Structure 1
Amino acid sequence: MMDTLSPATRTVDVRRFGQRAARLAIASLYAELALYPKPGLVSLVDNGSHTDMNAVTFMRSLFSLRHYFRLIFHAGSNDAPFATLKRLGIEAEERMLRATGGINTHRGAIFSIGLLCAAAGRACAHGGEMTAAALQSHLRAGWGKELANHSVPVNERSHGLSAAALHGASGARHEAASGLPSVLQTGLGALRRTLAEGRGPRQARIDALFALMMHVSDTNVVHRGGPQGAAFVRIQASAFLHAGGTASNGWEAHALAIHRAFVERNLSPGGAADLLAASCFVHALTAEHER
């Protein structure tokens, strides 16, 4: 709590916490990249369903984002309007694309983790505890109306937006307007359950990824595989979790078989991967307050 601190001390604490939040954001993106087996997705082991990107591409992207999360945290701590957050996100995306040669590695994470950093900044400046519920509350209180009304420029034609228009996949904008429930309930809940059962961070991240694949309407999947591909992803994720997830014997072989099936079908749940990184970020950020 920071209510009793002087303004000068509070400013120092907000700055320090912003630096910590930015480090945790980058670390969470790296944790997602390093995870394996991860169906259809780029990892340090292989490129999944992708021929246009690899782990090096992701590392270049990560390096380009190292200042963005700190900047948007401080924007949130100053109750910046949504237009400011959007500008920072657009600038971060432009840096990412320059670093990757035009390849979209982290657009979803720029959006979701950026908003969570802004919400953390607002919570920090208001002197509240850093909990998942507080992050959701500050996200809605600070920018909920703008997120709900967030319009898409006519000339913006990302794969995700095209898929949403064609097949009704809700995507990141609907997630944010709803207070990021896939992160703050689905992903974070799966992480905490697996850890509480005594399994480690790797298993927790695998279980969280499969939970997100089962529950999230992923525009990346719909773009690549249409509604049939999206149904295949949900069915495979559900089968993995109903078998016990990482608590089951042979879970790693099962996850690897699903990975190979996704690669064969050119499926890549990139939206779920971004939300997994965001879930890891919230888990790390709130660990001291939600033990």
Structure 2
Amino acid sequence: MAKPQARVCATQWAEYLANSAVQALLDEVQLTPKPGLVDRRGSGAHSDLTLELMQASAHSLWPTFYQMAIAAQVHPHIDQSLRESMGAIGRLGEAQMLKCTQGVNTHRGAIWALGLLVVAASLAPFTTAQELTERAAQLALIEDRYIPQQGLSNGAKVRQKYAVSGAREQAQQGFPSVHLGLKQLLKSRQQGASEKAARVDALLAIASELADTCVLHRSGLEGLMWMQQQARKVLALGGYSSALGQQQFQQLETGLLARNASPGGAADLLAASLWIDSILPASAQEGSV
């Protein structure tokens, strides 16, 4: 992978960022197994999603990420203009995604998280994951005055009902769950886990702490707390690379399917973690907290 410091012409850098963002979404959906989520085995807890649909959705977002990267080069300052330009591109990208999926929300959260990170990466060179996420957080804190006034989404209703943070706050705080995912990726690799197991462990680490509104919407606070507890148990037993960890993972998956729930928010943030991992060397991620 090219390093961020190896900046080439603007369009080539934008293409690189868009390519790597789409690949991160593909890597996330293809990762198998994932509890309650779409993977190579099937649709998990989702009756309206398939692996093929998720892959098509990821590919449909390439122009969105490319245009966001270009926008950051046209508006090279973290200000209202860049924030609202990104927002307009994101809404068009969401419309294209929904057209591709015939109305199914596949990657709305990923457009927000990866979009912010792509813009942050396109603004100027960076050397660490912390620097990148802090830059994205500054952008997320700026209000977009042109967000359409619509009815509350499922996520917004859940945030109000349970008084929890959502995707917006996660970004404004500098993506702490992404840093958690990166930290677990490195830890599992250093302990000798396979790449697949390390990525499953990263998903579990994110799920163990995130107030995942997808889980809250489908199974309430009890379901969320249960999922977090089970995810922590898998990791405590050695993660997915251990026999005991895999047994506990099966209990986690069985319980989520029984609750018709899946950690979709954690999956979006895993994709963001995999994206940063793909463009930064491990030494630049070790400051992740």
Settle same-fold status: TM greater than 0.5. Answer: yes
Secondary structure, aligned partner of 2:34: coil
5 Å-filtered alignment, 1:221-260, equals 221-260=215-254
Secondary structure, aligned partner of 1:245: coil
When normalised by structure 1's length, the TM-score is: 0.88
Matched positions, count: 278
The letter for the 2-side match of 1:175 is Q
The letter for the 1-side match of 2:223 is G
| Gaps in structure 1 of 5+ consecutive residues | none
CA root-mean-square deviation: 2.3
Aligned equivalents of 2:82, 2:208: Cα separation in 1: 34
Aligned equivalents of 2:227, 2:146: Cα separation in 1: 29
Superposed CA deviations along residues 256-290 of structure 1, whole A, max 9, x for unmatched, are 33212211111111000000000000110112873
| Displacement after TM superposition at 1:152 (Å) | 6.8
| Gaps in structure 2 of 5+ consecutive residues | none
When normalised by structure 2's length, the TM-score is: 0.88
* 2:129 equivalent in structure 1: 132
| Displacement after TM superposition at 1:200 (Å) | 2.4
* 2:28 equivalent in structure 1: 32
The letter for the 2-side match of 1:36 is T
5 Å-filtered alignment, 1:201-280, equals 201-280=195-274
- Matched-pair contact (CA < 8 Å) for 1:120–1:130: no
Aligned equivalents of 1:103, 1:33: Cα separation in 2: 16
Aligned equivalents of 2:157, 2:269: Cα separation in 1: 20
Aligned equivalents of 1:115, 1:220: Cα separation in 2: 21
| Displacement after TM superposition at 1:76 (Å) | 2.0
Aligned equivalents of 2:145, 2:174: Cα separation in 1: 14
Secondary structure, aligned partner of 2:243: coil
5 Å-filtered alignment, 1:88-127, equals 88-123=89-124
Q: Aligned in 2, Cα 1:132/1:57: closer, same or farther, shift over 3 Å? A: same
| Displacement after TM superposition at 1:247 (Å) | 4.4
Residue 186 of structure 1: which of 180, 187, 195 is its match? Answer: 180
The letter for the 2-side match of 1:136 is T
Q: Aligned in 2, Cα 1:44/1:206: closer, same or farther, shift over 3 Å? A: same
Say whether 1:71 aligns with 2:72: no
Q: Aligned in 2, Cα 1:75/1:152: closer, same or farther, shift over 3 Å? A: closer
